[in-house]
Amino acid sequence: MPEFPDPVACPAEADDPTIAEPEKAAWTACEKFVWSCIRKGEEANLFLKSCIKPRTTVQSEARKRHRLAPFFNPERYASTNAISDSFVLTLLQNPVYSVQIPALGIRIFGAYFADPVNFENVTTSSNLVLDGSMMRLGLRMTNFTTPKNVSVDGSNIRGSLYLMRARIDGSIFMERGVFDTVDLRDSRIGSSVEGTGSVFTNDFQFDRADIDGKLILTKARLTLLKGWDARIGGSLELRLADIRRKVDITGARIEGDLRMQDVTFGRQPRSGDTYCDWDPELKASYVLNELMEALPEADRAAAMREVMEDRPSYAGKPDGNPCHDKSSAKVSLVRNEVLLRDMKIEGSLCIVDTTGLIAGSSDPARPKFVETISLDGTQAKSTVLSWKATESRTLWRAVNFKTGYMVINLNDQPSDHFIDNLDIGFITFARRPSGELSNDDLVGQSDEHLVKYKCELTPAANTVDPAEDEDTQERIIRFFTSDKSASAQPFSNVVSRLEASSINTLNLRKALSDFKYRDACGYSNFSRARRDTTWVSVPDAWRKAMEKKPEGTSTALHAASELSLLGLDTACNVGVYGLRQMVYYGHEPWRIMYFIFGAIVLFWLLLKLDRYTPGQEMMRRRFGLGYAFDNLIPLKAYRMEPEAADELPNSTTLRAYRVFHRGLGLLFALMIFFFVYKAST
């Protein structure tokens, strides 16, 4: 059980010969104590006032016992745990001390920094561990350079944590802490950035950052995550993250996976002036959840004020919570959305059971769901998509989205989606496994073993809905025909991929044909009225058609015009019906009909140019459309006027073209025979 220890003064150290005279006078008792631990290669635990050997059970238990102390009434440690940034800078930069620091580096747990901590432009070869720290006015590490790690795990850093243009060859650790603004723009990180279970009350920015390892924000509480044009050499982990404002990682390149399993989007409190918040009912293991469980009810409100409600925003200056003032410029310009646009994902894009729903207030002025989740212009080696039943109206966008392999679960579908110019290499339809564990069941289990939970699927009888099943195809049809883009291209792309896998797609092709030509026959106002409102009766549709009479046109003339256009619609519908039935043989025969029609009309027009040439024995008769049609039929028995079809035009050129025209007819006949034969086998 976490403990909140009483303040204990640092011990008075005996005269230390390793401390130079200037520092003997300048350093406090706590700073001298910390140095005595560091030079021995041990961690200075300022809650216990004890030097503890790292990587031991004793150290692990001591940290675990006091891990929540920085988040409840930290001011009581203002004198007993206080050290200054000048003390740490002296250790990092003064050769008298830096050469004495062992390989384990500077390791301090539970330090209190009352003033701004400034390590800008520092270059060091030492590991820097300031875990469990209480920094009251921010931490500046702009242009900080080290070949080792930087750690602020379990820390409570008020104000901004600046790491712009930092060059850290190791990792940055900021797990299970509370931070305000984190700025990693243009930084270069040689390994990973780890923020599992932390709370970030303001912007987490990593625009143009270059992170060779992973960016891990599993179970984190985020306000705004922004990483334009960043590069992540490993994976971006967001499983069980709770985001109360926005995600925008447009243009980022991820060489591993982007995993967003069960990501939620905060809540709107039912009372007070708070505009957005994290959902306290979620049982994911993170610092706020642990703090509420460890404290008695009487102390919880004070802890919440310290951790979340009374946080500064920039440079340690009180600026309110970004969710407090809906009318402020900073908040009003931030929309609730997830922008994963123009990304290059060389691993798997996994978005599973992420609905966009925002829980909380019934105030109609506040959004009930994230406005958009956009994959526009993104490319991924593979993609896993799955939804769960929800009332969310979040718009899912995927325009110019490309993936080599897609696993998609269509048993539950989003209410609104906009898809166009989709490029899929292969597609599999997953089913939701029976007996699936809930998030509550997974609390306490190792994140290391759950990192790919729901994102890895081995196709098998119990994990995949066969694409040839009628129910599966009905779900496919419902998904693509309800697409708000009204484009048939995504549906056509999926049908083509399934056909390439020798799957019977007859029902899909029929539905695709209907979807393509759903608006083809709407010449009359009557037909448009029936199409736009399917439940309208025939008399009402006719009345609406007559109401659209152009000014100055008589009713009789308008009725006659409507009837003629209705006849055109009838002929068009017959053609569309025929097109649908030709799906049995593929659409190739229908395309051939267009070429046949074009060949006949072209020959007929050329025949109109046929003229008598002086010197000919006689003037042959002029030929018409029937002659052009008969000469395209290769078998004489099926011609309308077999004898007339054998007569020759006047022009020598047209006689030669007649031979070519008959050759086209033979070619078309062979093609139709081939397509019919292919469909029947």
| 542 and 603 assigned to the same domain | no
Give the model confidence (pLDDT) of 513-524 as tens digits: 778 776 667 667
Give the model confidence (pLDDT) of 136-174 as tens digits: 999 999 999 999 999 999 999 998 999 999 999 999 999
| 449 and 593 assigned to the same domain | no
| 54 and 97 assigned to the same domain | yes
| 96 and 127 assigned to the same domain | yes
- Name residues whose C-beta falls within 8 Å of residue 238's C-beta, 6 or more positions apart in sequence: 217, 218, 220, 258, 259, 260, 263
Contact in structure between 263 and 354 (CB atoms under 8 Å) = yes
530 part of a folded domain: yes
pLDDT value at residue 436 = 58
Return d(Cα 529, Cα 543) in angstroms, integer: 10
* Cα angle 418, 454, 200; round to 5: 80
Give the model confidence (pLDDT) of 487-514 as tens digits: 999 999 999 999 888 888 888 888 887 7
pTM (predicted TM-score): 0.80
Q: Which of 458, 485, 512 is the last residue of a domain?
A: 485
Range from 50-59, 187-196, 290-299, 376-385 carrying the lowest mean pLDDT: 290-299
Return d(Cα 384, Cα 380) in angstroms, integer: 10
Return d(Cα 409, Cα 432) in angstroms, integer: 7
The string of DSSP codes covering 486-534 is: --SHHHHHHHHHHHHTT---HHHHHHHHHHHTTTS---SHHHHHHHHST
| 217 and 291 assigned to the same domain | yes
Tokens representing 448 are 């290391």
Give the model confidence (pLDDT) of 639-668 as tens digits: 888 888 888 888 888 888 888 888 888 887
| 291 and 392 assigned to the same domain | yes
| 601 and 560 assigned to the same domain | no
- Rounded to an integer, the average pLDDT of 389-394 is 91
pLDDT at 81 over 90: yes
| 114 and 257 assigned to the same domain | no
265 part of a folded domain: yes
Report the domain count for the chain: 4
* Cα angle 403, 407, 412; round to 5: 125
Helix (H) or strand (E) holding 302: helix 297-304
Parent domain of 642: 588-680
pLDDT value at residue 613 = 57
Three-class DSSP category at 389: coil
Give the model confidence (pLDDT) of 598-626 as tens digits: 888 888 888 888 866 555 544 455 688 88
Residues shown for the chain? 681
Give Cα separations from 556 to 206, 239, 381, 549, 566 (angstroms): 70, 67, 62, 10, 15
350 part of a folded domain: yes
Number of Cβ atoms within 10 Å of the Cβ of 450: 15
